[in-house]
Amino acid sequence: MTTVNYKNNNVAIAGVSIDENIFHEEKVGYMLVDRENEIDELYRMISECGYDKENDKFLMVQDQDFLKSIDDEFVFSNIGTNEFIAQSINTKHFNTICVDILRANGTPEDEIKDLVSFEKERGVFRVTFMGKDLLMDFNPSIISSTEFDHYSDTLTQSIMDGDDSGEISFDGFTYWWKEEEVCKTIDTIYEVTQHEIHGERLCSFGMFTDRDVAFNEAVKGFERLYTDFEVSLIENGDNQWLYHGLNRSNGVDVEFMFCITEVTLNVFEEL
């Protein structure tokens, strides 16, 4: 992330002090402003708006809402419009403005490249690598061949080591990758239901793909529901349990039955 702030009352980009005349002479279309000061200034301007300035007031309220919604200390303000560019919202545009300012300041191009780093296009991209389908949060097609060699070597080693996920770091940014999971068809689920002691169904507590997990989660769930109860659990057949709980503090009894029912799916290839 490119550091932009004020240094000795001058704008500083990555530690480089910027000639204030660049802004006074409008050599670039933006000025760096303190976000909180700008919010206060908008409060003042809104309060001074007359009835004939309702449209301007509406736009200023929108700007104020935007500035309140972010945490950036400084933002770029467009000289000709009411546009604000925040690094946390639009990093690429923010960094492009930084480059324009550095160029107007006379900073050499090779230094600018080192001072302002552009994060690669992020998202979720599907890539086939070493016969594996991978998901990455950057677009590998837009990086240079040198960078490709870097992440290629890292990926190759990780996959050879048996990893199914990991991180790749270059240009000062860290990106994730993981092996794409193949969707599995579920043929059977196990539904946990609660019943009155004589069998009347009360509710469903959830569905699971594993019977043991269903049982364990049911028991833990009832423990959370009926805290401070002394519990006895009696198996009543293959898929039914009688639950009796005695409240230690007031002696109140709780009795019910819960069942785990096996449900077969994809009978008609519906999933």
Cα–chain-centroid distance for residue 49?
39
Dig out the tokens for 174 from the structure.
């860290």
Rounded CA separation 197/134 (Å) = 51
User: Would you state the pLDDT for residue 224?
Assistant: 79
Rounded CA separation 22/19 (Å) = 6
Strand order in the sheet with 253-264: 201-208, 188-195, 253-264, 240-247, 229-235
For 134-158, how does the pLDDT look when each residue is reduced to its tens digit (9 = 90+)? 888 777 766 666 666 777 788 888 8
Residue 259 has pLDDT above 80, yes or no: yes
Residue 260 has pLDDT above 90, yes or no: yes
Residue 75 has pLDDT above 90, yes or no: yes
Cα pseudo-dihedral 160, 164, 167, 168, rounded to 10 = 40
| Nearest residue to 238 (alpha-carbon basis) of 212, 259, 224, 267 | 259
Contact assessment for residue 177 and residue 155, using Cβ atoms and an 8 Å cutoff: yes
Strand pairing partners for 257?
A: 195, 242
Contact assessment for residue 201 and residue 195, using Cβ atoms and an 8 Å cutoff: yes
Higher pLDDT, 112 or 190: 190
- pLDDT band with cut points at 50, 70 and 90 for residue 121: low
Strand order in the sheet with 84-85: 30-34, 74-78, 84-85
Higher pLDDT, 119 or 13: 13
User: Would you state the pLDDT for residue 188?
Assistant: 85
User: Would you state the pLDDT for residue 245?
Assistant: 83
Residue 79 has pLDDT above 70, yes or no: yes
Query: Which 8-state DSSP code applies to residue 140?
Result: G
For 23-58, how does the pLDDT look when each residue is reduced to its tens digit (9 = 90+)? 888 899 999 999 999 999 988 888 887 777 778 888
Rounded CA separation 151/129 (Å) = 11
SS3 242: strand
Contact assessment for residue 219 and residue 229, using Cβ atoms and an 8 Å cutoff: no
To the question of pTM greater than 0.75 for the whole model, the response is no
Rounded CA separation 87/77 (Å) = 12
Contact assessment for residue 35 and residue 77, using Cβ atoms and an 8 Å cutoff: no
For 89-111, how does the pLDDT look when each residue is reduced to its tens digit (9 = 90+)? 887 788 888 888 999 999 888 78
For 201-253, how does the pLDDT look when each residue is reduced to its tens digit (9 = 90+)? 888 888 888 889 889 888 888 887 777 778 888 888 888 988 888 887 777 88
- pLDDT band with cut points at 50, 70 and 90 for residue 261: very high
* H helix count then E strand count, the chain: 7, 15
- pLDDT band with cut points at 50, 70 and 90 for residue 117: low
Dig out the tokens for 221 from the structure.
């769930």
In the predicted model, what is the mean pLDDT of residues 59-64?
88
- pLDDT band with cut points at 50, 70 and 90 for residue 270: low
For 152-193, how does the pLDDT look when each residue is reduced to its tens digit (9 = 90+)? 788 888 888 888 888 877 666 677 778 876 555 677 889 999
Determine what percent of the chain falls in helix, strand and coil, rounding each to the nearest 5.
Answer: 35, 35, 30
- pLDDT band with cut points at 50, 70 and 90 for residue 115: confident
SS3 136: strand
User: Would you state the pLDDT for residue 76?
Assistant: 92
Strand pairing partners for 173?
A: 170
| Helix or strand holding residue 75 (H, E) | strand 74-78
Domain positions in the chain: 4-115, 122-179, 188-264
